[in-house]
Amino acid sequence: MKPQYLLILALLLIADIFAYTEVVGLIRKPSDVSVIVGLVLLAVLIVVNFIVIRFTLSKFKA
């Protein structure tokens, strides 16, 4: 295991916390546009997390 991949996962966790609070703030607004933007950003966040975690796990096995 390389320490840089553990660092990537730690930074991803911190970024997820900040991004999730922003997304929830958008979803809670009464505007329809902000709710749609919040849901799109949530979907993007899920996809990015999946790609980064999959990449990191593949490097752990190597």
In this prediction, residues 35-56 reach a mean pLDDT of 91
Task: Confirm if 24 and 38 have CB atoms less than 8 A apart.
Answer: yes
Entry pTM: 0.78
Helix (H, G, I), strand (E, B) or coil at 1: coil
Flag whether pLDDT at 62 surpasses 70. Answer: no
- The per-residue DSSP string of 20-54 comes to HHHHHHHHHSS-HHHHHHHHHHHHHHHHHHHHHHH
- Residues 2-42: tens digit of each pLDDT: 788 888 888 999 999 999 999 999 889 898 999 999 899 99
Tell me, what's the pLDDT at 9? 86
